[in-house]
């Protein structure tokens, strides 16, 4: 297993604006090529089931090998499946930067245009924050696919960053 190194956090603000807050929650998720999916509901501060958090592999058939995972946060009942962990909801935009891929966990040696695999990712969604961090992972023998990954996801209504870091955004 490789343990997550410290790096500068990556901060973005979601396209979804509002004042909704959530119940504070920390989730430790272990995924493997034989158990590659995770899903749970999130409760807002009023006690309503409001969001669904999922982590899904890049391969749509669910079969090994897995090369990367996508972290998705969607509103319950949203038929479009719009990921709230993105800066924009424009699926036809012409230009993408690393900030557009905060939700994508990809261990590629050349992470461009992605966010570095071990970076702490902070997304402000409405009135709360979602923090995503790969804690450790193991690659397959050929170093091409991910055999296992441990991800920490936290939800909080207070910024987990210092004011200086919050103002530094990932382009």
Is residue 69 domain-resident?
yes
Summary mean pLDDT of the chain: 85
pTM across the whole model: 0.85
Cα separation, 145 vs 153, in Å, equals 22
Phi first, then psi: give them for residue 135, nearest 5 degrees: -90, -40
Output the pLDDT for position 3: 46
Q: How confident is the model at residue 129 (pLDDT cuts 50, 70, 90)?
A: very high
Determine the structural domain holding residue 41 and report its residue range.
2-165
Is residue 122 domain-resident?
yes
Is residue 91 domain-resident?
yes
- The number of folded domains in the chain is 1
Question: Over the stretch 17-69, which tens digit does the pLDDT of each residue have?
Answer: 999 999 999 999 999 988 999 999 999 999 999 999 999 998 766 567 888 89
Is residue 171 domain-resident?
no
């Amino acid at each position: 297993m490789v343990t997550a190194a410290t790096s500068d956090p990556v901060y973005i603000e979601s396209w979804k604006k509002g004042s909704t807050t959530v119940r504070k929650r920390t989730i430790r998720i272990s995924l493997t090529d034989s158990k590659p999916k995770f899903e749970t509901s999130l409760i807002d501060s009023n006690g309503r089931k409001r969001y669904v958090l999922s982590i899904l592999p890049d391969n749509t058939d669910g079969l090994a090998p897995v090369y990367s995972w996508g972290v998705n946060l969607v509103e319950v009942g949203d038929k479009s499946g719009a990921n709230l962990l993105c800066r924009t909801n424009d699926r036809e935009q012409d230009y993408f930067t690393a900030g557009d891929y905060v939700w994508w966990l990809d261990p590629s040696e050349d992470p461009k245009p992605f966010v570095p695999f071990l970076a702490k990712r902070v997304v402000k969604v409405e009135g709360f924050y979602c923090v995503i961090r790969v804690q450790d992972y193991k690659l397959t023998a050929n170093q091409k696919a991910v055999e296992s990954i441990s991800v920490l996801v936290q939800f909080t209504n207070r910024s987990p960053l210092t004011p200086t870091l919050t103002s530094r955004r990932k382009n």
